Structure formats: C-alpha cells, structure tokens
Amino acid sequence: MSARLLDGIAVARAIRDELRDRIGALLERGVRPGLGVLLVGDDPASALYVRSKTRACEELGIRHETRHLPATATTEEVLAQIDGYNRREEIHGILVQIPLPRQVDTPAVLARVDPAKDVDGFHPANVGLLVQKRPRFVACTPAGIMELLAREGITVAGRRAVVLGRSDIVGKPMALLLLHADATVTVCHSRTRDLPAVTREADILVAAIGRPGLVGVEHVKPGAVVVDVGQNRIEDPALAGQLLEPERLETFRRKGSAVVGDVRFPEVRAVAGALTPVPGGVGPLTIALLLKNTVAAADARS
C-alpha cells in the first residue's frame, strides 16, 4: 500500500485561476485589490514568506506594498503602521508577518487590524465569527486544508479527525473548521497522554506541531488521510535518512539541508490512504487562501 499524494500545488493553481475572473470583474468596476504587508525584523524565513506572498500578488495583478520595520521596533511603531494601512481605501487586506520580535505586543497588533481587512483571520472578531460558524476571514492554512480535502473528494462529515497542535494560527481554527464540517474532532498537544493511541483513532490526522518527524507509522491508522502542516528545516544527516525518500536524500547531501514536515514521510506513506508531501502540500494553499481573502475583502468594500 502506498498513500495517494494530495497535490497542494495543483489545488492552489486551480484557486488562483478562479481568482483571475473575480479580479477581472473587480477591475471592470474600477477596483484593484490591494494588500498591505508589515514585516518587522530580519528573520530570513519571514522575509522569504513575504516575498512568496507578494510574488503571488504580482502574478494575479493584486496591488501590494510592504513596510519593513527594524527588529528594534516598538509596539507603538508597529501600531502606527497598522493605523496607516487601516485608513487607506486602496488597501483592502492587511498581512502582519509573524512572529513579531519579543518586545512587540503581538495580540495588541493583531487586534488593531481593521477586522474587514484582516485577511489572515487572526483578529478576535473574526475568530469569534468562526466559532459561531459565521466566518468572514479564516486563517489561511486551515482554510486551505479544507479546500484541499473538498477538491480531492475526501469526505469529512461523520469521520473522526485528530488535530495535533493547538496554536491560534493552525490548530484551533483547524479543529473548528473540521467540527463545522461535521467531523468528530480531538485536539492533541504536549500534555496529551499516549499520543499514538489517540492519533491512531483518526480517519483524518492533521499534524501541525512543528517538530520534524514526530508522526510515525505508530501514530497512523491504516488508510487514514494525513495532512502534514510542518515546515521544518533540518541539517542532521541521520534525521534526513529517516525523513527523506532516496531522491530528496540525494539533494540533501548536495545542499546540506532540507525542509521536512512533522511526518516521517517514507514510513507513513506506506500505511496512509492519502498524504500531503512537504514541500508541495499545504504551503501553496496558504498563499492561495491569502489571495482569496484579499480579493473577498476588496469585493466586500467595492
């Protein structure tokens, strides 16, 4: 048995193609969707994520601009940038790249974003609407996973789902979306006892814990759908040998590093019914849903 690979790249491409028509209709009405990005500090991964998102905006004709503050920025300085984006009519969506530096009050920053421009779905008002099953904007990674499941023909209703991780960005909204889709949902975390026994109950297992290779064959029920949200860079050859298939292992040896998920891909692929690869699984969907939310925000304001 070898798991069917769920192609996040293809699904993301389909979402973008659908957005082209919506953007064209907005342009005919004189509205060009606009995204304002705020990047604080010099974290290479954050800078890379921002470049990926803005490049995707350019491909679809979405206006974008990025304000880059130094790592020493204060909460007040960050809030001032948010206020500026909030006031501007041509900015329909606001993206605050997190994590923010330690001295910045992240909850205060996320709460300062106009909820109607909160295309990341982190504002307390939008989180509350999601809880009530009246979503306006939903965190992009969980929303992208739901799109993937739907477009790949995977039934959610009536199935047992386990979410590994309880972050505000992925774990909690993921659990709510699965619950609203009529799954029976369990959320696991660092205090969960006998984790493999719990995850083996899952028909759908979402791994979003941020630990490379945490999920192995002992965690997975045969035939389960496994969604790997992890994005972990590794440099340890021994770990690479466990987590990479031969072709990627050769690339690792040349480059000295690789990005892997939370799942031990080769062994889990042998027992799962369907599995997302890393890279090429969830990552492209996160960006596609950011674009979709930005277009929806522009549409709502026009």
Q: What is the pLDDT of residues 90-111, one digit of tens each?
A: 999 999 999 999 999 999 999 9
For residue 13, give every residue at least 6 positions away whose Cβ sits within 8 Å of its Cβ, in sequence order, or none.
Answer: 284
The verdict on whether omega for the bond into residue 279 sits within 30 degrees of 0, i.e. cis, is yes
Choose the final residue of a domain: 55, 82, 117: 117
Same domain, 191 and 263: yes
Q: Cβ(261)–Cβ(230) under 8 Å?
A: yes
Same domain, 99 and 150: no
Is position 6 within any domain? no
Annotated catalytic sites, by residue?
Answer: 53, 97, 120
Predicted pLDDT at 1? 66
* Dihedral angle computed from the Cα positions of residues 80, 81, 87 and 89, in that order, rounded to the nearest 10 degrees: 180
Task: Give the C-alpha separation, 269 to 264, whole Å.
Answer: 8
Confidence of residue 297 (pLDDT cuts 50, 70, 90): very high
Same domain, 278 and 233: yes
Checking if the pLDDT of 250 tops 90, the result is yes
Check which CATH number belongs to the domain holding 64 and give it.
3.40.50.10860
Our separate counts of H helices and E strands in the chain read 12, 11
Predicted pLDDT at 45? 86
Is position 172 within any domain? yes
Same domain, 160 and 83: no
Side-chain-side CA neighbours of residue 194 (13 Å): 4
Same domain, 93 and 42: yes
Task: Give the C-alpha separation, 41 to 99, whole Å.
Answer: 10
Is position 12 within any domain? no
Q: What is the pLDDT of residues 26-57, one digit of tens each?
A: 999 999 999 999 999 998 889 989 999 999 99
Count of domains forming the chain: 2
Structural domain boundaries enclosing 181:
140-282
Is position 293 within any domain? no
Predicted pLDDT at 191? 95
Is position 277 within any domain? yes
Same domain, 84 and 38: yes
Task: Give the C-alpha separation, 18 to 218, whole Å.
Answer: 39
Is position 23 within any domain? no
Checking if the pLDDT of 15 tops 80, the result is yes
The predicted model scores a pTM of 0.96
Same domain, 110 and 148: no
Same domain, 155 and 252: yes
Mean pLDDT score, 117-133: 98
Q: Which amino acid is it at 53?
A: K
Same domain, 277 and 181: yes
Q: What is the pLDDT of residues 47-90, one digit of tens each?
A: 989 999 999 999 999 999 999 999 999 999 999 999 999 999 99
Same domain, 112 and 145: no
Check which CATH number belongs to the domain holding 179 and give it.
3.40.50.720
The two structure tokens encoding residue 33: 């969707």
Mean pLDDT score, 234-255: 93
Same domain, 113 and 196: no
Task: Give the C-alpha separation, 97 to 51, whole Å.
Answer: 11
Is position 69 within any domain? yes
Checking if the pLDDT of 217 tops 90, the result is yes
Same domain, 85 and 153: no
Task: Give the C-alpha separation, 65 to 94, whole Å.
Answer: 10
Task: Give the C-alpha separation, 288 to 49, whole Å.
Answer: 13
Confidence of residue 276 (pLDDT cuts 50, 70, 90): very high
Is position 122 within any domain? no
